[in-house]
Amino acid sequence: MKSIEETKTRKSGIDIIGNVSWGTHFCQFYKTKQDLIDILVPYFKVGLENNEFCMWVTSQPLSVKEAMGVLKKKVKGFDKVTKKGQIEILDYSQWYIRGGRFDADKVLAGWVEKEHYALRKGFSGLRLSGNTFWLEKKDWKSFRDYEEKVNGIIGKHEMLAICTYSLSKCSASEIIDVIANHQFALIKREKKWEVIQSAEYKSLKESLEESEQRLYLATRASKDAIWDWDLERGRVWWNEAYTLSFGRPKNTRDSRQWWIDHIHFDDRQRVVDSIQAAIKGKNEHWRCEYRFQKKDGSYGNIFDRAYIARNKEGKAYRMVGAMLDLTERKKMEEELKKAKDNLELQVAQRAGELQRANEALKITKDNLSRAQAVAHIGSWYLDVINDILIWSDETYRIFGLDIGAALTYEMFLEIVHPDDREYVDKCWKAALNKEPYDIEHRIVVGGKVKWVREKAQVEFNKEGKAIRGIGTVQDITERKQREEDSRRLQEELMHVSRVATMGELTAALAHELNQPLMAIMSNAQAAQRFLAKEIPDVKEVQEILSDIIKDDNRASGVITRLRALLKKSEFEFAILDINDVIREVIPLVQSDTVIRNISLSIELNDNIPFVRGDRIQLQQVILNLILNSFEAMAGVDSKRLCISTEQKNNQFVTVSVMDSGIGVDDKNIDSLFKPFFTTKKEGLGMGLAINKAIVEAHGGSLWARNNPDQGATFYFTLPIE
Amino acid sequence: MKKFIPMVFIVDDDASVRKSLERLIKSVGFKVELFASAEEFLERKPYRGPNCLVLDVRMPGLSGIDLQKELAQKNISLPIIFITGHGDIPMSVKAMKDGAVDFLPKPFDDKNLLSAIDQAIDKDVQRRKEGALKAKIQRRVNTLTPREYEVLTWVITGMLNKQIASKLGVGEKTIKVHRGRVMQKMQVLSVAELVRLAQIAEIVPPKK
């Protein structure tokens, strides 16, 4: 497999072998010292050049000193290498038979220890060579067992091993044993080195390669991301699919942390806990669903399941698993479900529509007449060309004629209220010229006035001439009556609320009236005194009289404004300068602002366009908003009120009333305008509701916002004339 | 004392009211000065002749009541007549307690206003006279030596020379001499007269 080769391939340094992977365990049969030098020197040279820790256990006929000498000749900077501790050259006695006898387990553990040492020191792995010259016949069996064990463990480690056997010491059966226990053997035939593989090993290797190839192809086919975690050494291997979807850490030693870091933060602890529990537990399987960051930075929904390999004691030493990215599948499932739901909905809708259509048709057929009676809707049909007019029974009833009576257009016009007759005739003529026909007008039936709504569709021929029309007549007398009642009620309510508003102003108005009255009184009394003098000062008295007239006008101005506000009037729309409307309200509240110690500023934009509206109603709105702000500022130290106007866009002007009061509770800001909503103890809760009704009747809108610092601002807009 | 024409100050934010009051008050011979706000009035130097203030209660900025407080704080005493378009009882009670001469709700009769002004001016004249007399006596008191002043304080309690002498631990003759100087410097002939002057000058007799 490619990714294995990338990380595990090493140069053997021996031409006829080429590259080998970590875990390769092979042997050499030698006759002479030179045979050993031929193979082992290039073998270690390459290892030293490629950052491997090298360990050479030598024996007769090559002494430690000789080995050192030949290697030093071939390796550049050999002294540095030895100083760095990259190579150890030992005599067999210092390694294999420490303590006087050969102990297979001890030697094996020694190799593993050396490999760990190498990795700790930052070397890529351990390259070793052992010589068996020292073997006695009696040790042969235990050494064979040892070699088998080496085979068992070397595959899992970053180790390369070459065992050298002296041909002179091996019998034929021993040679066969040796070959069987190594992946291959090097033998010199006719001065050339050859590689010999045991048939067993070859077939094992082939089948292994085949199975690896199968696995590789299978994982490629499935695109599953497969990982293999060596728990003992904390290393993780990933397949190509894994790397493609998820990437990999820069340094393989960080692999475990890298994997944890890429789990979605919210899932991380759960997954780590789960996998740790699985490792500590007894199960052979682990599975977990979590979000994992993919190479593109997005998070995928991962279904991860693994097999946990355990040793005889049940301790986990390896986990192999596959991560399945369910994101696409989930998305597809959702889309599929949505599409399915949608389809079902559409089917249900269509079925419903069909059913309703059927029912409607049935009703139309069977009960049209009754339905018309219930709804007070009649229908008619006019054949323009042949001048035939047909009415439904309900149409006859609405127009107060006997059912079946002969009809003409003129007879119909006769029933229309005299004031509306011309209008109706004009509209119908227009309808014959392709104008839409949907009108409301009065009719007179038995001396009583009724309201009807008429709608019609006219069909035209190719030349554009009307050929026939079909229409409805609806008796809307009751609706009109209700509208009228409701309008009257609303006006009544507005009036009541206005009177109530004025009530709140009495104190200020008394002051407003008292000022001119006071001046008039004092002036008149002063005049009396001037006139009582021996030589009356006529000029002074004339001045006094003109001042009296001025003050009188001032007083009656206040009263006129008051009366205008108190008058019960219907809407009277006129073109207005909203600034003037505001200016007329200000004198009514001016003294109140003085009494309440409110600083009032008026910021009217003189360049705003005219609006269309009812002066009194709008003054009521402004007055009410101002009085509301007075109340909002009642308990506040710094009392500021600002009334301003501006043009909002090319459709509206905005009036805003901004105060520094207690503001509006955010949760109430929308219910403020509902009828009977009040936060005041004595309020009726109609003021703002009525204001809103008035503003909306003008085609504008009214709303409130709390100011960023203090208080609230009420805004209303009015359409530009 | 130089003769000053009594002055009536009017503070009201309403121009028509100010002007009409000016006419009315001038017609009976007072001088009148007008102010549109309390702040404006506070800028003016005190008038040296008898004067009083006609003051509107409600005005933008400092109110009439605020002005009354401000004047009291500055130790400026002049009689105040409050006028108001919308007076309430608690406010008028407070104003009167704080020394207002009258509290007139608008509109009021000219007689009521003018008689209140007369009263206020009289009160101011009286206050000024008392002030002038007190100043005169104080000037005489200032000529006394500390010992003479001490003797004076005992004399006005009605003690005899002998008693005073024993109190101060000196001879009767010495007291007699001091007493003679006190009578001379205070320009009085009798003890009764001395006691009256001491009262006006607010000299407190020591406790026996």
Write down the mean pLDDT value for chain A: 83
Express the helix, strand and coil content of chain B in percent, nearest 5 each. 55, 10, 35
Domain B143-200 has CATH 1.10.10.10: yes
Using a CB-CB distance cutoff of 8 angstroms, which residues of chain A are in contact with residue B106?
514-515, 517-518
Q: And the tokens for A548? A: 């009296």
Looking at A282, A301, A325, the residue that finishes a domain is A325
DSSP state of A263: B
Distance CA A343, CA A38 (A): 79
- Give the number of residues written for chain A: 721
A593–chain B nearest CA distance, Å: 8
A66: in domain = yes
Q: What is the pLDDT confidence band of residue A228, given thresholds at 50, 70 and 90?
A: confident
Q: A432-451 b/e with 16+ CB inside 10 Å = b? A: eeeeebebebbbebeeeebb
DSSP 8-state assignment for residue A416: B
Give the mean model confidence (pLDDT) for residues B116-144.
91
Residues of B with CB under 8 A from a CB of A: 13-14, 16-17, 19-21, 23-24, 27-28, 58-60, 83, 85-86, 106-110, 113
Asked, for residue A346, whether it belongs to a domain, the answer is no
Q: Per-residue confidence at A221, pLDDT binned at 50, 70, 90?
A: confident
**Are A641 and A656 within 8 A, CB to CB?**
no
Q: Which helix (H) or strand (E) holds A83?
A: helix A78-83
* Total domain count, chain A: 4
- Please state the separation of Cα A577 from the chain's center in Å: 47
A61: cis peptide before it, omega within 30°?
yes
Residue B20 to residue B3: CA distance in whole angstroms: 27
What span, in angstroms and rounded, lies between the C-alpha atoms of A368 and A373? 9
Please indicate whether, in this complex, the C-beta atoms of B108 and A521 are within 8 angstroms of each other: yes
Element (H or E) spanning A493, and its range?
A: helix A477-532
Q: Are residues A465 and A589 in the same domain?
A: no
Specify the pLDDT at position A5: 38
CB contact at 8 A, A38 and A62: no
Across A65-80, average pLDDT: 87
User: Distance between CA A642 and CA A586 in Å, rounded?
Assistant: 12
For residue A374, CA distances in Å to A368, A394, A434 come to 10, 9, 31
β-pairing, A126-131 with A53-58? parallel
Domain identity same for A572 and A672: yes
User: H/E element holding B115?
Assistant: helix B110-142
- Is residue A528 classed exposed, middle or buried when 0-12, 13-18 and 19+ CB atoms within 10 A define those classes? middle
Which residues, 6+ apart, have CB-to-CB distance to A209 below 8 Å? none
- Residue A159 in any domain: the answer is yes
For residue A597, what is the DSSP state? Answer: T
Question: Do A251 and A166 sit in the same domain of this protein?
Answer: no
In a domain, A337, yes or no: no
Residue A362 lies in a domain: no
pLDDT tens digits for A163-173?
898 888 887 77
Asked if A415 contacts A443 with a C-beta cutoff of 8 angstroms, the reply is yes
Per-residue confidence (pLDDT) for residue A679, from 0 to 100: 61
Any domain includes A632? yes
Higher-pLDDT residue of A163 and A328 is: A163
Segment A508-536 shows an average pLDDT of 86
Gyration radius (Cα) of chain A, Å:
53
Asked if A162 and A31 sit in the same domain, the reply is: yes
Indicate if A320 and A383 belong to the same structural domain.
no
Helix (H, G, I), strand (E, B) or coil at A635: coil
The DSSP bridge pattern shows strands A448-460 and A466-475 to be: antiparallel
CA distance A32 to A13: 20
> A4 pLDDT band (50/70/90 cuts)?
very low
- Percentage of residues of chain A with pLDDT beyond 90: 18
Instruction: Reply yes or no on whether the pLDDT at A366 is more than 70.
Output: no
pLDDT digits 0-9 by tens, A190-220: 788 888 877 666 676 677 777 777 777 777 7
Do A704 and A601 belong to one domain?
yes
Residues A144 and A243 in one domain: no
Predicted confidence at residue A199, as pLDDT, reads: 67
| Residue-wise pLDDT tens digits, A374-387 | 777 888 888 888 88
Query: Which residues make Cβ contacts (< 8 Å) with residue B5, sequence separation at least 6?
Result: B29, B30, B31, B49
Euclidean distance between the first and the last CA atom of chain A, given in angstroms as a whole number: 83
Does residue A443 sit in the same domain as residue A522? no
What's the CATH number where A425 sits? Answer: 3.30.450.20
Range of the domain at A700: 485-719
Q: Are A470 and A380 in contact (CB under 8 A)?
A: yes
CA of B90 to nearest chain A CA: how many angstroms apart?
16
The whole-angstrom separation of Cα B14 and Cα B21 is 11
Q: Compare A512 and B112 and report the one with higher pLDDT.
A: B112
Residue range B21-42, pLDDT digits in tens? 999 999 888 999 999 999 999 9
Clarify whether residues A537 and A453 are in a common domain. Answer: no
E strands in A167-284: 185-189, 192-196, 225-230, 235-238
pLDDT band at A579 (very low <50, low <70, confident <90, very high): very high
Query: pLDDT, tens digit, for every residue of A466-484?
Result: 888 888 898 888 888 888 8
Instruction: Tell me the pLDDT band of A550, cut-offs 50, 70 and 90.
Output: very high
A517 and B106 within 8 Å at the Cβ level: the answer is yes
Which of these ranges, A233-237, A440-444, B170-174, has the smallest mean pLDDT? A233-237
Asked if B20 and A595 come within 8 Å (Cβ–Cβ), the reply is no
* CATH number given to B7-130: 3.40.50.2300
CATH number of residue A60's parent domain: 3.40.50.300
B86–A518 CB contact, under 8 Å: no
A576 contacts A698 by C-beta, under 8 angstroms: no
Assign B161 to helix, strand or coil.
Answer: helix
Tell me if the bond preceding B205 is cis, omega within 30° of 0: no
User: pTM to 2 decimals?
Assistant: 0.42
pLDDT higher than 50, residue B1: no
Residues A516, A454, single domain; the answer is no
CB A340 within 8 A of CB A348: no
The whole-angstrom separation of Cα A492 and Cα A532 is 55
> What pLDDT, in 10s, does the model give residues B106-116?
888 889 999 99
Residue A6 has a pLDDT of 43
Tokens of B76: 């400026």
Q: Which candidate in B13, B14, B16 is best for mutational testing of the A interface (most A CBs within 10 A)? A: B16
Residue A420 · residue A428 · CB < 8 Å? no
Which ranges of A224-280 would DSSP assign to H, the alpha helix? Answer: 240-246, 255-261, 265-280
Q: Please report the number of interchain residue pairs, chain A to chain B, with beta-carbon separation below 8 angstroms.
A: 81
Residue type present at position A638: S
Residue B50's pLDDT band (cuts 50, 70, 90): very high
Contact by Cβ (8 Å): A160, A128: yes
- The letter for the amino acid at A135 is L
Tell me what pLDDT residue A2 has.
34
Nearest residue on chain A to B85, alpha-carbon basis: A511
Residue B58 with chain A: CB contacts under 8 Å: 511, 591, 594-595
Q: Among A305, A325, A345, where does a domain finish?
A: A325
Q: Which residue of A has its CA nearest to B64?
A: A595
Residue of A nearest to B57 (CA): A595
Domain edges within chain B:
7-130, 143-200
Residue A297 and residue A389 share a domain: no
Comparing A554 with A592, the larger pLDDT belongs to A554
Interstrand relation of A611-613 and A599-603 (parallel, antiparallel or unpaired): unpaired
Per CB distance under 8 Å, which residues of A are interface residues toward B?
507, 510-511, 514-523, 525-526, 529-530, 540, 544, 547, 550-551, 554, 591, 593-595
**β-bridge mates for residue A704, sequence order:** A714
A505 to A194, A322, A498, A631: CA distances (angstroms): 120, 82, 11, 12
Q: What is the DSSP pairing of strand A185-189 with strand A192-196?
A: antiparallel
End residue of a domain, out of A421, A440, A475 = A475
Average pLDDT across chain B, whole number: 88
CA atoms within 13 A on the CB side of A129: 30
Q: In this structure, are residues A288 and A275 in contact, taking their beta carbons and an 8 Å threshold?
A: yes
In a domain, A334, yes or no: no
Residue of B nearest to A600 (CA): B60
- Percent of chain A predicted with pLDDT > 70: 91
Is residue A216 included in any domain, yes or no?
Answer: no
For Cα atoms A471, A472, A477, give the angle at the middle one, nearest 5 degrees. Answer: 145
Alpha helices, DSSP H, located in B53-109: 64-73, 89-97
Contact A380, A390 (CB under 8 A): yes
